[in-house]
Structure 1
Amino acid sequence: MILPSQLGFLATLAALLNCSPAATLHVPTIYARALDGPEALSESYDYVIIGGGTAGLTVGDRLSEDGKTTVLVIENGELAHSDEINNVRDRVTWNAEPWWLYNITSAPNTELENRESAVIIASVTGGGSALNGMQCVRGTTDDYDRWGSFFGGSSTWSWDGVLPYFIKGLHFQPPPKEAADQMPGIKYDESYWGNTSRLYAGWPSFQWPGIKYQFEVFTKLPGVGVPEDSGAGQTGVYWYPTYMDAEGSINRSYSRTGHWDGLNRANYHLITESKVTQIELDGNKATGVVFRPSQVDGGEGEFTTVKANKEIILCAGTIHSPQLLQLSGIGPRKLLESARIETKIELPGVGQNFHDHTTLHFEIQFRNYSIRPNRRDDFEDPDFITWADNLWAANRTGPWSRALWNTGAWLGLPVVAPEAYESIAAKVDAQNAADYLPTGSDPTVIAGYQARLVSLAEAIRRSNNVFYSHYFSGDEPVNYFTYEHPLSLGTVNINVSAPESEPIVDYRTYSNPVDFDIMLELARFHRRINVESPLLAQFDPVETSPGLNVTAREDWVAYMRRNTEPSSMHPTGTCAMMPLELGGVVDEQLRVYGVEGLRVVDASVMSVIVGANLAGTVFAIAEKGADLIKNGAE
């Protein structure tokens, strides 16, 4: 192996030999290197990145692109080949190998009849971008302006401050004419996109004809528009691309293919199947990272420490970033004392402010909706699979060219509940934040939640904030809708009786009771549009769950308790970017308060979740975070 420190020697040797072009000293091509084990590590790196997922590989790529700055990424999961992960037809997490996912079950959810839920997060190189639904959606201008509002009017965490990183981070491929012809009402504006990244946003070559009816139903609603582009930061009904290279492999495009594969860069190292257990501190300075093999039976294995010359960047995600801070003595003092961990930096907000998109299962069958052969059994029907396989083999088209969906409705509460949204916002205005947080919450965390409630009350009143989202599918209806801005907050904290085991994930769904009010309005709207719409009546819609007999509030609430999914696999917020006095964990530079040389760059820094699937936003955070790091090092 040729270490980064040896490259200068080789270059000098070539110069001393004064080789002619015909007899130049052969120096082998050096690529970004996946290390075989700790013995191949350099003694130290300029930057050590914890987590080789959506954010971690993006940051690693950007920090190492000068060819000189040394970067190590430590990833818990394996380096599965991109073809093993997913081409487009293999779809998402339910086809994942079990070892590509963490095995975590949530705490009992009080308001969901004490139900426990699987906490689905990726444990594989590429992280969530390797196993997600490939939905390339951004959210609205208000989402990003909200982040900066907690710091005042001059923050660069705003729509204008983040949009350049959306543009930098993606290579947009316009839909070919044959695809666009299948997308009624499609609009796009390439000024919202870039063309230099190796991460692609492309378009499947096949769309179900029945989508046009759902699209038309929503566009006829008062106050619903079709934005000029899905990335324009506006609510409405629109088509959006898929994370795929539609002009190349027709496969998933994710952080590994965009920010690792094929890089000719010896200063960029990756070690996989390695579990970080602690961030080392010297006083208040982060100096190194301790890890050990993650796949050894019983979790045992030799500990290895690697030093960071400049900074450590924590990209372990919303579930594991707070756990690592807490294990390292950075977090709420009472929690750390209970776990017998020395408090090195008291930071009450670590692991708090946890939230996710919430979904409600809502089954509607369109009994006269035969737009494809052998539709009824979906992707398990052998006749359908044969038909789809033949299309794919012959033309690289058909349903296998798709991930999940490419169009849907993303709507604000004034559109969904025009007669109720103001009274709901008034309820939120009147709330005392401490009443809806765990007992004993720190005053700064309470203050941060109060500020968050004020912001979300305003969002309820503004149309450009997504509260309801629903995907359109032409093969058969999608059996749920999503509540995009829940008020309730949960926690992710270490297990005090076994700190190095998986953390305790408590969603605390509906802990703020106004979430029942909002979900009720979303459910009534969903029924009104899908079951009672004259345009869809021709397809003979039947609501099989909850059923039209469910009309009273108490019956709806009972149904919600049994049929709400607390997670859309979009966990956020546990290392919130907010002022310290509001329970913040990182500042606007993504630096952990009170710690020198340590930043968090992942979905956990979102103070309030965006009204969209998260991959695009995490890529943008990582791109902006990398610039902040590089600018701070100058």
Structure 2
Amino acid sequence: MASPSGTFDFIIVGGGTAGLVLATRFSESPALGRVLVIEAGEDLTEDPRVNIPAMGAALMANSANWALAAVVQTGLKGRTASVPQGRMLGGSSAFNGFAFMPPSKSTVDMWAKLGNQGWDWSSFSKSMAQAYSAGAQGQGPIQLSIPNEEDWKWPAAWRDTLAGLGYPTTSNPYDNSGSCFGAILVGDSIDPDTKQRSYAGNAYYGQAKSRDSLTVWVGITIEKILFNKNKDNHGRVRAIGVQYKDENGQTKTVTADKEVILAAGAINSPKLLELSGIGDEAQLRLLQIPDIVVHNPFVGENLQNHVMCSLCFEVRPTKDRGYETTDSIIRQEPAALSAAMEAYGRQTGPLARSGTNAIALLPLPGIESEQGKQEILQILEKTVTLPGASAGDGKSRPFLKEQEDFVHRILSSPHEPSGHYITFSGFAVVAADGSIAGPPPGDERYYTIAPSLSHPLSRGSVHVSSASASSAPTIDPNYLSHPLDIEVLARHFQFAASRIASTEPLASHLTRKLGTSSDTTLDDFIHLDKTKEYLRNNATGAVHYVGSCSMMPRELGGVVDSKLRVYGCSNLRVCDASIVPIIPSCNIQATVYGVAEHGASLIMSDYI
């Protein structure tokens, strides 16, 4: 790392997924000038724990993870959970679960309908295609692998089961249609030639790090953004640089001639805005943050994440090849480990893939029937949001109606997914620390179906807890606080437990016994109330946080405009998952790359 000093044209705060995309694109054009990326974590681009797909979980328990935690969740019976966030070059793309699933056209078009001109599907999908390559589709640095089904039969069993239930099985996530539905085979962000993780740290930064116009500092903690408070003709202040602590704990500053861009993620970007005096003035003064730059009570609000819960079925014994599970590997049985390592040497087998490739995006169960339509109408009438029903609603009431109407349209359509079903050939339960819990003792094998709520209406918040940059923020996802969310998730969970698991060919491979420490049985999920109770006791959040610096008009609850400029600032932008106003229906990795590519084009167009 070069000695921290000097002046740059652009300062990018955060060398994670979005930050390295921005840096790579900016440094392709020398006319933009000098680009500085400041990352709190280290450069682990040569670390095998990053590059070998099966080793990513080892990074959860060290300094490569911010290791944050949510407050106690009332909707989850007083439970809490960690909030994993990548703290290294590449950010969370260096240890995520690999799934590269583009958002739906309906969701992205809804972003545009909120007032974000240029963020419709037609425009956004073109930017996203610049981020990845999946065979002949896409044209970007992130390389995707589609698993070989010849030696792994579970995806075919899943697909044929969904076909038997009447759902389509031919959706291609990478055809830019934005209309994936039914059973889907999702690609991994794993290079098909090397079988190593393909992520922002190697696929983007790897090609840019030798450029003279790009400087990257690692191990540097940003304390706040610095401003010239003399307002321009539009009443906006100007960002002039950042204040940071160097490796020796000394406070220093670095200046930006053109722009400061926050790309610190959905948790840390709002934190840095508030530390810099941009947020709810009354709350910032309570924390003795001295300089209030812009009053905006929406900073840190509208935090969204998916809620999910696993069903781990015991698998019937079989000698058929291709129906192996990962349980013996996780239990570190010598023969299984040896076979898996030998297969990885041939660039195949369970260590060369995520194992979560076979998914489904399904509508609300029963919506295709007249009875089902009437039931959802009754549910929607009963769960219309009342004032104070969810944390933060009082601050963003105008947006709440827009989001609620959108979700209601999704739920009322037999062709729009409200449930995201993830499968895994092994025991897979998300533990409280964000890791995947291992299988119970014994020699049983498992197959997991984990329904997830695609479009939650529960919205939380993330805010600074003190005026110190070293203090962890207060994170409240507010899971299952909106009454509609538990109704929808419970019905998808019931559908997985009863209909999917009992339909051939999957039914021939699964027993009716669940891998759980409780005395819960599949029969319990016949009852809606028992299912809801089980979910409140066992569901957890994914790591798909978005929305805390939402892109939409200020009067709707926006923090940034459609050009990603922070309201009240002429040259401070945010470009990461935090700007996404409505969460996509599934994993957000592809969305974040798309946001970064689209944002890079928008910013560069102001200078070139």
TM over 0.5: yes
Could you list the per-position Cα deviations for residues 447-484 of structure 1 after superposition, in whole angstroms to 9, with x for gaps in the alignment? 21222111211121234543212234456412522112
- 2:209 is equivalent to residue 209 of structure 1: no
Report the 3-state secondary structure (helix = DSSP H, G, I; strand = E; otherwise coil) of the residue aligned with 1:388. Answer: helix
Q: Which amino acid aligns with 2:357?
A: N
Larger Rg computed on CA atoms: 1
Report the 3-state secondary structure (helix = DSSP H, G, I; strand = E; otherwise coil) of the residue aligned with 1:400. Answer: helix
- 2:307 is equivalent to residue 358 of structure 1: yes
Could you list the per-position Cα deviations for residues 362-420 of structure 1 after superposition, in whole angstroms to 9, with x for gaps in the alignment? 22222235545686534332211111122233x23222221333221112226678544
Q: Which amino acid aligns with 1:322?
A: P
Equivalent residues in 2 for 1:26-175 (5 A)?
35-38=1-4, 41=5, 43-68=6-31, 69-96=33-60, 98-151=62-115, 155-172=117-134, 174=135
Conserved in 1, the CA contact under 8 Å of 2:392 and 2:459? Answer: no
Match of 1:591 in 2: 565
Conserved in 1, the CA contact under 8 Å of 2:422 and 2:449? Answer: no
CA shift, 1:500, in A, is 4.3
Of 321, 342, 352, which residue of structure 2 is paired with 1:390? 342
TM-score (norm 2): 0.88
Report the 3-state secondary structure (helix = DSSP H, G, I; strand = E; otherwise coil) of the residue aligned with 1:124. Answer: coil
Could you list the per-position Cα deviations for residues 499-558 of structure 1 after superposition, in whole angstroms to 9, with x for gaps in the alignment? 640100011111111111111111111112333224333224214254133133332222
Match of 2:295 in 1: 346
Match of 2:276 in 1: 328
Match of 2:266 in 1: 318
Match of 2:142 in 1: 199
2: distance between equivalents of 1:424 and 1:281?
A: 50
Any stretches of 5+ residues in structure 1 without a counterpart?
Answer: 1-34, 175-189
- 2:316 is equivalent to residue 367 of structure 1: yes
Of 621, 625, 634, which residue of structure 1 is paired with 2:595? 621
Match of 2:163 in 1: 219
Of 418, 422, 430, which residue of structure 2 is paired with 1:467? 418
Could you list the per-position Cα deviations for residues 581-629 of structure 1 after superposition, in whole angstroms to 9, with x for gaps in the alignment? 1111111111111111011100001111101211111111101101110
Match of 2:187 in 1: 241
CA shift, 1:94, in A, is 4.9
Distance change >3 Å, CA 371–CA 78, structure 1 → 2: farther
**Which stretch shows the higher mean deviation, 77-86 or 315-324?**
77-86
Match of 2:225 in 1: 279
Q: Which amino acid aligns with 2:595?
A: I
- Please report the RMSD computed on the Cα atoms of aligned residues, expressed in angstroms: 2.4
2: distance between equivalents of 1:292 and 1:276?
A: 7
2: distance between equivalents of 1:597 and 1:98?
A: 35
**% identity of equivalent residues:** 26
CA shift, 1:149, in A, is 1.0
Q: Which amino acid aligns with 1:270?
A: V
1: distance between equivalents of 2:39 and 2:467?
A: 26
Equivalent residues in 2 for 1:247-326 (5 A)?
247=193, 249-263=194-208, 264-283=210-229, 284-293=237-246, 301-326=249-274
Distance change >3 Å, CA 466–CA 304, structure 1 → 2: farther
Match of 2:473 in 1: 503
Report the 3-state secondary structure (helix = DSSP H, G, I; strand = E; otherwise coil) of the residue aligned with 2:8. Answer: strand
Report the 3-state secondary structure (helix = DSSP H, G, I; strand = E; otherwise coil) of the residue aligned with 1:202. Answer: coil
Distance change >3 Å, CA 382–CA 417, structure 1 → 2: farther
Q: Which amino acid aligns with 1:265?
A: R
Distance change >3 Å, CA 257–CA 314, structure 1 → 2: same
Could you list the per-position Cα deviations for residues 12-66 of structure 1 after superposition, in whole angstroms to 9, with x for gaps in the alignment? xxxxxxxxxxxxxxxxxxxxxxx2442xx3x211110000000000001111112
Q: Which amino acid aligns with 2:154?
A: G
2: distance between equivalents of 1:61 and 1:439?
A: 36
Distance change >3 Å, CA 96–CA 496, structure 1 → 2: closer
TM-score (norm 1): 0.84
Conserved in 2, the CA contact under 8 Å of 1:365 and 1:542? Answer: yes
1: distance between equivalents of 2:58 and 2:73?
A: 23
Equivalent residues in 2 for 1:397-436 (5 A)?
397-413=348-364, 419-420=371-372, 423-424=375-376, 427-428=379-380, 431-432=384-385, 434-436=387-389
1: distance between equivalents of 2:522 and 2:191?
A: 43
2: distance between equivalents of 1:415 and 1:53?
A: 41
Conserved in 2, the CA contact under 8 Å of 1:105 and 1:116? Answer: yes
2: distance between equivalents of 1:287 and 1:595?
A: 11
Q: Which amino acid aligns with 1:280?
A: L
1: distance between equivalents of 2:105 and 2:138?
A: 18
1: distance between equivalents of 2:415 and 2:568?
A: 36
Query: 4+ residue stretches of structure 1 with deviation over 6 A?
Result: none
Report the 3-state secondary structure (helix = DSSP H, G, I; strand = E; otherwise coil) of the residue aligned with 1:86. Answer: helix
Any stretches of 5+ residues in structure 2 without a counterpart?
Answer: 230-236, 427-445
2: distance between equivalents of 1:209 and 1:470?
A: 18
Match of 2:582 in 1: 608
Q: Which amino acid aligns with 1:139?
A: P
- 2:499 is equivalent to residue 529 of structure 1: yes
1: distance between equivalents of 2:319 and 2:453?
A: 30
Conserved in 2, the CA contact under 8 Å of 1:416 and 1:525? Answer: no
Report the 3-state secondary structure (helix = DSSP H, G, I; strand = E; otherwise coil) of the residue aligned with 1:261. Answer: helix
Distance change >3 Å, CA 170–CA 555, structure 1 → 2: same
1: distance between equivalents of 2:195 and 2:392?
A: 51
- 2:401 is equivalent to residue 438 of structure 1: no
The count of corresponding residues between Structure 1 and Structure 2 is 566
Match of 2:438 in 1: none
**Which stretch shows the higher mean deviation, 497-506 or 275-284?**
497-506
Match of 1:562 in 2: 537
Distance change >3 Å, CA 203–CA 81, structure 1 → 2: same
Distance change >3 Å, CA 426–CA 626, structure 1 → 2: farther
Distance change >3 Å, CA 161–CA 423, structure 1 → 2: farther
